[in-house]
Amino acid sequence: MNIGKTLFAQLMEFVPWTSFARIVARYSGDARVSALPSTEHFRIMAYAQLTWRESLRDIEATLGANPTKLYAMGLRQAVRRSTLADANERRDWRIWADFAAVLIRRANKLYADEPLGLDVNIAGNVYALDSSTIDLCLSLFDWAPFRSTKAAIKLHTLLDLRGCIPSFIHISDGKVADVNVLDILPLEAGAFYIMDRGYLDFARLHTMHQAGAFFVTRAKSNFNARRVYSAAVDKTTGVVCDQLVALNGHYVRRDYPEHLRRVRFKDPTTGKTLIFLTNNTTLPAPVIAQLYKNRWQVELFFKWIKQHLRIKRFLGNSENAVKTQVWCAIATYVLIAIVKKELQLKSSLYTCLQILSVSVFEKTLISCALQTDDYKTRPPPDANQLILLGF
């Protein structure tokens, strides 16, 4: 048994503190700050995520109840809720966004060889793009308008399907349309971008095509195009037709002057017919359908982080405080993914988070604590004590 560092301290050893210090210096995060430096700020926010703290008072009470363990966590003293509130309000949220980006790049390298579960190997990266809305109270979060009676923020996320690691995240108010995020999306030549019909904008898709990237999306009900060429298909795979089409309409054809590939697919389980549009002409038609099916991973990612990360109840009402909490939650999620991969743990991210939530102060090796046991508990042997009574 390790009698030295706690699990939380061992977890913090995986943080690239040198890169973190450069980011803090870039935004002057510790200028004129004496009570709560950036390193302690992140440790406290990570602790709140791991142990499911839901308020400033909750964080203050639980840390104050363990005064002898604060030094092992990297904290000089117990934090006051007013100090943490001020730090969330004033410290630039871009520090945490850039820090999360550093962790994301590190995680993407670790998960680059993960299989996609497709019939063919794809050399480039495969991403799923979608957004999720987090409802807020309009009277408290008036900077994030959504509807006449409530506020909201949107998490626009580009998820790397090889490891379910977010590669790009943009936080906006609830009124921003999903398709607008294509204007700021970093495009990677040779990569696949899987999107639903909400991102169907032919001018933006043509920009993606000119950048050398591939997209797979669904056609809307009013999609208007004429067939140019039809390829032979194997209908036992569920593919009804595989065609090259040209768009009809002056303005639409001006936005996307190239030919598009249209794949009509009938789902054998539900019987529903889906029409996919893509600019890739080399992959087999069934693989195009499989790629779009994998887009569901981003929906599962949103469901997972809403259930297991603290991004529904916020520690502050300002835009800076909300973005600080969201980015710290994402950084914590990616950090656990890095630990899982570097230690080659078989446990799921959910299991790792559940273990850490109740054992951050335990002094045991992190590789042992996060590794679930596969053996079954043996029943105790029969006792040899004599039975004195007959009942």
- Domains of the chain plus CATH, in order, are 7-94+319-369 (no CATH), 196-282 (3.30.1370)
Give the separation between CA 273 and CA 170, rounded to whole angstroms. Answer: 32
Confidence of residue 375 (pLDDT cuts 50, 70, 90): very low
Please determine, for residue 376, whether its predicted confidence score (pLDDT) is greater than 50: no
Confidence of residue 389 (pLDDT cuts 50, 70, 90): low
**Could you tell me which residues come within 8 angstroms of residue 214 by beta carbon, excluding any fewer than 6 positions away?**
124, 190, 191, 192, 193, 278, 279, 280
Name the residue with tokens 């980015």.
327
Please determine, for residue 181, whether its predicted confidence score (pLDDT) is greater than 90: yes
Q: Please provide residue 375's backbone torsions phi and psi, each rounded to the nearest 5 degrees.
A: -80, 160
- The percentage of the chain sitting over the pLDDT mark of 70, rounded to a whole number, equals 94
Which residues does residue 136 pair with via DSSP β-bridges, in sequence order? 151
Number of H-type helices and E-type strands within the chain: 14, 9
Please determine, for residue 387, whether its predicted confidence score (pLDDT) is greater than 80: no
User: Which of 158 and 311 is assigned the larger pLDDT?
Assistant: 158
Rounded to two decimals, what is the model's pTM? 0.84
* Residue range 280-330, pLDDT digits in tens: 999 999 999 999 998 988 888 888 888 777 777 788 889 999 999 999 999
Q: Calculate the average pLDDT of the chain.
A: 87
